Amino acid sequence: MKIHHIAVLLLYPLLASAQLAVTVSPAKVASQKAIVPLVMKNNFPEKIESARGVVFLMDDQGKMVGQKTGWVIGGTRERPALEAGKEAAYNFVITANRPLTTTNLTAKVTINQLILTGGKIADVNKDVRIQNANQSK
């Protein structure tokens, strides 16, 4: 085995965990509002300066009943950057046009922008893992 193969094998566990892990909890509904809690863990070796996400709220028929976009990490003074190895929580609050008649809602969350220390832009397709809270890890 060549030396660079050994180096890749030794670094693989570090590369596999170098990401933003997002856990999405079930939506909580109250009248015309739904709250979708997120817990995010920074597994990068560096600070995440900001991350922007989108949540689509779907009813039990698969119809979209609400949507919200916002900074889930950084982006504002109230929401600081996320240090390496740390976790942060964020609640998407979605207001529907009419009262939500079902509590059987599904949240589809995506992270569409991820900026690391120094303005380095991460690849959201490779570096972000999103899972529902009820899924096994």
Per-residue pLDDT of the chain (137 residues; tens, 9 = 90+): 444 444 444 444 444 444 999 999 999 998 889 999 999 999 999 999 999 999 999 988 889 999 999 999 997 788 899 999 999 999 999 998 788 877 789 999 999 999 999 999 999 999 999 999 976 44
Which of these CATH numbers, 1.10.357, 3.90.320, 2.60.40, 3.30.420, describes 19-132? 2.60.40
- Which residue(s) pair with 108 in the sheet? 56
pLDDT digits (tens, 9 = 90+) for 35-60: 999 999 999 999 999 999 999 999 88
Contact yes or no for 37/29 (Cβ under 8 A): no
SS3 of residue 92 by DSSP: strand
Torsion of CA 124, 130, 44, 47, to 10 degrees: 80
pLDDT at 33: 92
In this prediction, residue 135 carries a pLDDT of: 63
Q: CB count, 10 Å around CB of 94?
A: 21
What are the Cα distances from residue 6, in Å, to 11, 16, 45?
A: 9, 16, 21
Residues 6+ apart with CB under 8 A from 108: 55, 56, 57, 58
The full set of domain ranges for the chain reads 19-132
Instruction: Check residue 87 and give its pLDDT.
Output: 97
The letter for the amino acid at 53 is: G
pLDDT at position 9: 43
Single pTM value for the model: 0.81
